[in-house]
Amino acid sequence: MSAYIVNKKTIDKIVTHIYNQQLETVKSYYPAIYQASQENGNDGLQPVNPQKLGQRLWAMNVKAVDARYKEQNPVELYRFDLCVSRRIQTYKSLQCYLYQCSEGDVPQLPLYQDLQQLSTDMANTIINNLSEYEEADWE
């Protein structure tokens, strides 16, 4: 298996999707994602900080690639750009990101696990909105 550092637009798509979710949903269902978007020691209900979240996603990807190749890549400064895409594209971008992060101990991190859950939830939403699903028998 190979791994690489995803492009910035991939992370922008993921972060934009999370940023556009209701705050209570992110905090309740994906607490590690919410925590990754906050300043250290921040208590209370603060909006998702897309810059902070994107930087942490970037760093996690670098950590996985470093584990795979026994490297020490620098973590570049991430700058968030809003990048709205269709749900199916965002889902595929998230799948690519998770695959590239599946090295070393990264899959055991709470942030990775919350992103996996988000991926599952997105897939369920996509399938539930298909006309074929609506027309299928409930047996």
**What are the structure tokens assigned to 3, written together?**
């791994």
Residues 6+ apart with CB under 8 A from 60: 101, 106, 109, 111, 112
Per-residue pLDDT in tens (0 to 9) along the chain, 139 residues: 789 999 999 999 999 999 999 999 999 999 999 999 998 766 667 899 999 999 999 999 999 999 999 999 999 999 999 999 999 999 999 999 999 999 999 999 999 999 999 999 999 999 999 999 999 999 9
Kindly list the domain boundaries of the chain, sorted by start residue: 8-21+50-110
How far is residue 5's CA from residue 7's CA, in Å, rounded to a whole number? 7
